[in-house]
Amino acid sequence: MKTLVVVSHPKINDSQTQQFLLEGAKLQDVTWHHVEELKNIDVEKEQSLLKNHDRIIFQFPLYWYSAPSGLKHWEDEVLTRNFVYGDGDDNLGDKEFGIVVSTGMPLKDFCHGGSENVTIDEIMAPYFAIANRAKMKILPTFTIAQFQYMNESVQMQLLIDYQRYLTQTYPDNLKNRQEWFEREFADRFKDFNDINCNACETILDTFIQRKENIDQLKSTISLIKQGEDD
């Protein structure tokens, strides 16, 4: 699965959050695409970039309850009516669509009755509408609130959650999470060879064994339930 991260930030080099995410996005099959860096928008090139990826992510900081103007400009140029739905081709149909949004406000403020009095999902409604029109599958929004206040361990968790958001199979359930960690551990295992890691193989085997135990227990429960129905 290939993921395209369409990033919009007018001063990306000054943004700690975006630089942190940029490091996280350095993964196989992930393309980082910063729209403000494009001198001219080559519509055909941009459209083919979209077509060549399976998961499309819009990533931006929240500016007055919306994305920076760079993303709107890119959308207006690239997402032509014919490309999105007009020519009957469903160029984006069946692709996944997600949003990574950052805000300096606490997440708890984004609810009815909170200081913002609006939810993140409501603010993202125009993007969901586009994705819906394009027959894309919408992923839950990944919100990063107050990155500057996060301590190291929270940032570490955020980095991996973000990587999972970009590359893990959806829905985000236990099965898919375990498979992601299994695959990634095996991949990153190679990098562990420079240190003494006798335990790596045992760790992975034990992890897989526990995953299988969970599956086994689930199927036992399913059998018992069937018996109860009879």
Partner 1 sequence: MDDTGIWLNQQVDELSQKQKEYKNRAFLVAMKKMVEEQSKRLEQLQGEVDGRLWNHEQW
Binding residues for partner 1, per CB under 8 A?
Answer: 23-24, 153, 155-157, 159-161, 174, 177-178, 181, 184-185, 188, 191-192, 195-197, 199-200, 202-203, 206-207, 210-211, 213-214, 217-218, 220-221, 224-225, 228
Minimum separation from the CB atom of position 175 to partner 1 (A)? 10
Minimum separation from the CB atom of position 150 to partner 1 (A)? 12
Q: Which is nearer to partner 1, 73 or 177 (CB)?
A: 177
Q: Which is nearer to partner 1, 41 or 214 (CB)?
A: 214
Q: Which is nearer to partner 1, 24 or 68 (CB)?
A: 24
Q: What are phi and psi of 151, to 5 degrees?
A: -80, 175
Q: Which is nearer to partner 1, 76 or 187 (CB)?
A: 187
Location of structure tokens 């129905």: 229
Minimum separation from the CB atom of position 151 to partner 1 (A)? 12
Q: CA-to-CA distance for 211 and 3, rounded, in angstroms?
A: 27
Tell me 139's DSSP state: P
Minimum separation from the CB atom of position 58 to partner 1 (A)? 24
Minimum separation from the CB atom of position 96 to partner 1 (A)? 22
Q: CA-to-CA distance for 157 and 40, rounded, in angstroms?
A: 37
Q: Which is nearer to partner 1, 135 or 177 (CB)?
A: 177
For residue 80, the one-letter residue type is T
For residue 49, the one-letter residue type is L
Minimum separation from the CB atom of position 210 to partner 1 (A)? 5
**Residue (of 210, 149, 223, 132) closest to 175 by Cα position:** 210
> H/E element holding 160?
helix 152-167
Structure tokens given for 149: 């206040």
Q: Which is nearer to partner 1, 77 or 182 (CB)?
A: 182
Neighbour-count burial for 39-67, b at 16+ CB within 10 Å, e otherwise: eeeeeeebbebbeebebbbbbbbbeeeeb
